[in-house]
Amino acid sequence: MLPHNSLRRASELPSRAVTWTLKALCGSLVQLSWGGHSAAYALAAELVTETQQAHQFCAWIRPAASGVHPPDLYRWGIDPAALPFVMLDEPLARLQATETLACSGAFSTLIVECDQHLAVAPAKRLADSAKR
Which CATH number goes with the domain that contains 45? 3.40.50.300
Q: Is residue 5 situated within a structural domain? A: no
Give the SS3 label for residue 97. helix
Note down the domain range covering 75.
10-131
Tell me the C-alpha to C-alpha distance, in Å, between residue 9 and each of 27, 31, 38: 15, 6, 17
pTM exceeding the 0.75 threshold for the entire prediction: no
**Residue 3 counted as domain residue:** no
Residue 53 lies in a domain: yes
Please check whether residue 1 lies inside any domain of the structure.
no
Work out the number of other CB atoms within 10 angstroms of the CB of residue 11.
9
Report the alpha-carbon distance of residue 14 to residue 54 in Å, rounded.
Answer: 28
Give pLDDT tens digits along the chain (132 positions). Answer: 333 444 556 566 556 655 678 887 777 777 666 665 577 778 888 899 999 999 999 999 988 887 778 888 899 999 999 999 999 988 888 888 988 998 898 998 988 887 665 555 666 666 566 555
Q: Give a yes or no: residue 4 inside a domain.
A: no
- Domain count of the chain? 1
